[in-house]
Amino acid sequence: MPKITIDSTEIEVEKGTTVIQAAEQIGIDIPRYCYHPGLSIVGVCRICLVEIERMPKLQVACYTPVADGMVVHTNNEKVQQARRAVLEFLLINHPLDCPVCDQAGECWLQNFYMQHGLYDSKMVEDKVKKQKALPIGPNVMLDSERCILCTRCVRFCDEITETHELGIFNRGDHTELLPYPGQELDNKYSGNTIDICPVGALTDKDFRFRTRVWYLTETPSVCPGCSTGCNINVHHNDHRPYKAGGIRVSRLKPRYNPDVNQWWMCDEGRYGFTQVDADSRIVAPQKKTRGDWQLLSWQDAIDEIATKIKGILKKHGADAFGVILSPQMTNEGLFAAKRFFQETLEVENIDFEVVAREKGYADDFLMKADKNPNSEGAKKIGLSAVDNSGLEVAQMLADAKDNRLKALYICHHNLEKGFKKEEVKEALSKVDLVIFQGTNQNSTSNLANYCLPSASFVEKDGTFTNFAGRVQEIHKAVEPLGESKPDWTIFRNLSKRLGKSMPYFEAGDVFNALAEEVDAFKGLSYEKIGEHGVLLNGHRASTEKEMGALVA
């Protein structure tokens, strides 16, 4: 392995490592615009120039592989001068519109100018004019004047999505990034171009002018949009939600996970968080009285529901009780439900799977047809009908229609996605007690007798198990809306009211209990999951499998 010296620190690195990567390993952050570890290396921006002893010219750190004995200076006078020069060149035709630019605060031109620039501009000429505020796709706005032509977005569309919407046209200082005339930047992953744009050239239609980035807080999480489980950061506006009309979650950004999504996420997941702050949120327990919803306190809700459940079980037995859990729930919610329904109530009719009538979009990259984040977890915890020799969802609805089912506890599902509207309506109308537990109202919740408010994925801690058996953590970014609570808390409280308490105080307690009881989770602990997740027993770390075509 070659040994090299970077700013007087000696380091041994793998052969083939580039100078910029080697420097990263010892915590030296060489500025970069065009370099992105997920894309081909082009060396065009020139901001990463470093001095390498015995080489006459400065070299770009992104492209230069280490060689044994190499001595690199990343911050001497010569390098600083070159950086200042590159910054000055990048800025001569860059508009000074930071006050109205959404990138302000996370702009690498601003940041590097403060770190490496700080010169007095000598540019007094007219700047080159290019196109501004150009909508180039459903999600992306382009300001061509702000573009520094790093070509990251072009390479993303050429190399990752292979959709080739963007090009670099003309030449010299009239070179311009634009979509192919007549074509939109409308691929399933277009939002990533905004993430990797180091400046304000590509901005997010969904985020523009909503909030300044310095008011945002980041919380690591996992996208609940499908079974891939892309790692994300939730950007939430804790400081000035009143400026955003009460919208607490401003945006989702992909978070690097080498084994799952690398640097990317799909647009469906990225923009799929709006239900979190939607008007349809269920914010308090409620019951339907003569067709009208009436709010209840948690205590009253739990009391009434417990009493009714007890009555039905006593009168009709456990076979008259159906439970439809959801792969939208965390492992913790599912496990607490399992304990509550199986152990406390001794109910066997438990299922979670409602096969969508409309097949979800899937590709060989990140998007899976299963639009639930925890189907694998639900299976492994043993919540399929077959595991409990109980009824499947379809059978439950059929039984309900035939008056054989007296109580139905439905979590999160909109049953109309799997069954015909009239079928669901008819079946549920014949059940004495329908309890809906979920985050948002839907056509199923409207048919229930009781609605219990669940905390959404940004309002709780917990874990999802992705399609490949990787257990990954979500974290509470914002407080549960209204009276909503994590699913596992609701089941714990119900269970206690019905005579069996569960000693869980936080999500980790539930997970650790789950790890003790369920084979696939044996040996795992909440503390050990870490930022990139861990694999269930029997699941091999198989990047190829998890990454699909990305690796190719």
What long-range pairs does 435-438 form, CB within 8 A, spacing at least 24? 435/305, 435/407, 435/408, 435/409, 435/410, 436/410, 436/411, 437/409, 437/410, 437/411, 437/412, 437/487, 437/490, 438/282, 438/326, 438/410, 438/411, 438/412, 438/413
Beta strands 249-254 and 71-73: pairing type? Answer: unpaired
User: Does residue number 63 form part of the binding site for other proteins (CB under 8 A)?
Assistant: yes
Instruction: Report how far residue 524's alpha carbon sits from residue 530's, in angstroms, rounded to the nearest whole number.
Output: 11
Q: Which is nearer to other proteins, 185 or 367 (CB)?
A: 185
Restricting to residues 156-175, name those near other proteins by CB under 8 A.
Answer: 164-175
Tokens representing residue 322 in the block: 């159906």
User: Does residue number 47 form part of the binding site for other proteins (CB under 8 A)?
Assistant: yes
User: Does residue number 148 form part of the binding site for other proteins (CB under 8 A)?
Assistant: yes
What string marks each residue from 317 to 356 as x (binds other proteins by CB under 8 A) or -?
----------------------------------------
Q: Which is nearer to other proteins, 82 or 513 (CB)?
A: 82
Q: What single letter denotes the amino acid at residue 449?
A: N
Q: How far is the CB of 39 from other proteins (least distance, A)?
A: 14
Tokens representing residue 461 in the block: 């801690």
Restricting to residues 83-122, name those near other proteins by CB under 8 A.
Answer: 85-86, 88-90, 92-93, 122
| Residues 192, 36 contacting (CB under 8 angstroms) | no
Contact with other proteins (CB under 8 A) among 58, 431, 447, 455: 58
The site that binds other proteins (CB under 8 A) totals a number of residues, namely 47
List Cα–Cα distances, 85 to 44, 58, 109, 115, in angstroms.
Answer: 14, 13, 13, 13
Q: How far is the CB of 148 from other proteins (least distance, A)?
A: 7
Q: Which is nearer to other proteins, 132 or 164 (CB)?
A: 164
> Candidates 5-13, 55-63, 268-276, 474-482 — which segment interacts with other proteins by CB under 8 A?
55-63
User: Does residue number 42 form part of the binding site for other proteins (CB under 8 A)?
Assistant: yes
User: Does residue number 44 form part of the binding site for other proteins (CB under 8 A)?
Assistant: yes
Restricting to residues 180-219, name those near other proteins by CB under 8 A.
Answer: 180-183
Q: How far is the CB of 101 from other proteins (least distance, A)?
A: 20
Residue 385 sits at the vertex; the CA angle it makes with 382 and 386, to the nearest 5 degrees, is 80
| Residues 339, 491 contacting (CB under 8 angstroms) | yes
Instruction: Report how far residue 371's alpha carbon sits from residue 467's, in angstroms, rounded to the nearest whole number.
Output: 11
Contact with other proteins (CB under 8 A) among 2, 24, 38, 46: 46
Restricting to residues 119-138, name those near other proteins by CB under 8 A.
Answer: 122-126, 128
Residue 389 sits at the vertex; the CA angle it makes with 385 and 390, to the nearest 5 degrees, is 60
Q: Which is nearer to other proteins, 60 or 223 (CB)?
A: 60
Q: How far is the CB of 141 from other proteins (least distance, A)?
A: 19
Rounded to the nearest 10°, the torsion over CA 338, 341, 343, 349 is: -90
| 3-state secondary structure (DSSP) of residue 516 | helix
**Interacting residue ranges for other proteins, rule: CB under 8 A:** 41-47, 49, 56-58, 60, 63, 81-82, 85-86, 88-90, 92-93, 122-126, 128, 148-149, 164-175, 179-183
